[in-house]
Structure 1
């Protein structure tokens, strides 16, 4: 019996020395197999008018990838040749985060964040392009900003048209997810716009960020990343979702729990080699909604990589992550 107890103690000690990773739920379907330049963080993807797919991301001066089939991706440099000068008001390196690309009124719109780690002295900017390709963007400056006295953080933009108006969800920690109305002509926040509150957690540090809103049927669906990113295989990022009949909320999960009270259905969590799934966006392609996100690859020392899965919408109206071919 002593030997058994000793063996149990030794086994527990060895397990304690192993790196901690998010526990797998192996019921999630794997993302599309991807080749070429896979490294990415906080991806936003769109199918361009020229037939190519472009993915922009955190890293570089808004890093760019190009593909003809969504399967093989090539490094395409950066959205900008150099950082616009005003970015340096928010960090010393002119480093942008978490872009969002969309198409409306005959041109492409690229929203992005500039900030520094652990600060809500932050701003969201916007640029436009006739083609959406890297190197063709014209910057138009600040859309919306936050200061250390604010209870929100102006990063992680996600733009949606709703009821003939233009809206931008945003937010990271600092009491969670917010939304403001944008002027469709300038793409910037309407002066004096109400800052709507969409989602938060019950306790500090209110670990929810990276919102993206999608219309399906009569509902608006708010996707957001919960818990911790940016720690390789120790990341606990996961994607949750709620819905509302109004773009400005209130959003609730399938049990009716408001997202302002910590609700949110779990859509995707770490599974197998795909750890810390988050930084998500959704794009429409060939009649399907495609979820784009990053994960940390257990088989490659936690390198962040691009993942793509179609979304399947159930009869109850709620989305699930689907496998390719479903």
Structure 2
């Protein structure tokens, strides 16, 4: 069902490898592997889907939703089935696809979820079942934004969802056992990252504390929280960049290389754009075939700032911090 994407090369730099491959135009990519096939979900009409055997050559699949979920127009009256920032994971014998329905630059938003027992469209068992709203944010009521979900399972087997954009920061909330709802109310949530504003917070204005797209990746003894800072989706004016912090506990605090908490605006730079690629960000991180990858989108300066998919192998420095090259 949902998400945004971009692709690239595999060359040697600091022990980081990249691969020259077909470029596809996507936003907010996420990926999963099933029986030798990689499936990429990204932002688009009905949630765009791509498949590949090698993470280089991609084929477009049918969108998750041919028609908008019925409940979506109740949340966003002008909704046109353009679904944002999905997240895909596997639990309890089925795939869970979380996705965002929202009005741009508002916290009129909701995160929904759909399930499927297989991602193979040729299987007789292939069918997406929508379960509706997991969580919803309402302007004037909530100081957080229900978009950009990411699911992580902790060392006790419990499932959590991080999400959020602007307003009062990025949140972490425990999910119910069936993963279809959140377990507790906002008073029991964890704020895992936020930035200071230059003016007083207004529930109807996200302000200038731009951060979003949390993605938590477990590596050895740490949980790594990747976050996108600054502004997306503006072509050559995009200022998106990816930062990271880490914690031995899922709930945080997440600290950057200097020891500054991401709750207080910290974040160590992972990657930013350059003269060839604008606004790289909204990443996901995975381990496939014993290699760690960062997947994200960026805008091609040579192709009218068209969004592209990037897949880059992550290397780790001697202190355990991720390193990624855009080239």
Q: Name 2:55's counterpart in structure 1.
A: 70
Structure with greater helix share of residues? 1
Rg bigger for which structure? 1
Among 143, 148, 155, the alignment partner of 1:151 is: 143
Match runs of 1:291-310 below 5 Å: 291-310=294-313
Give structure 1 regions of 4+ aligned residues with deviation exceeding 6 angstroms: 27-30
Point out where structure 1 has 5 or more consecutive residues left out of the alignment: 1-26
Q: Deviations over 1:51-83 (max 9, x none)?
A: 111111111100011111110111112112211
CA-CA distance at 1:136 after TM superposition = 2.7
Q: Distance in 2 between matches of 1:156 and 1:34?
A: 27
Structure 1 SS opposite 2:302: helix
CA-CA distance at 1:220 after TM superposition = 0.7
CA-CA distance at 1:30 after TM superposition = 8.3
Q: Are the equivalent residues in 2 in contact too, given 1:87–1:95 (CA < 8 A)?
A: no
Inter-CA distance 119–186: structure 2 relative to 1 (3 Å threshold)? same
Does 2:116 match 1:123?
no
Match runs of 1:307-322 below 5 Å: 307-321=310-324
Does 2:275 match 1:283?
no
Match runs of 1:187-206 below 5 Å: 187-192=180-185, 194-203=188-197, 204-206=207-209
Q: Deviations over 1:201-260 (max 9, x none)?
A: 111422000000011111111001110111112211000000111111111101001111
TM-score of the aligned structures, taking structure 2 as reference length: 0.86
Q: Distance in 2 between matches of 1:157 and 1:96?
A: 12
Q: Name 1:141's counterpart in structure 2.
A: 132
Structure 2 SS opposite 1:160: strand
Q: Are the equivalent residues in 1 in contact too, given 2:84–2:100 (CA < 8 A)?
A: yes
Does 2:42 match 1:57?
yes
Q: State the superposition RMSD in angstroms.
A: 1.9
Q: Distance in 1 between matches of 2:317 and 2:158?
A: 28
Q: Name 2:243's counterpart in structure 1.
A: 240
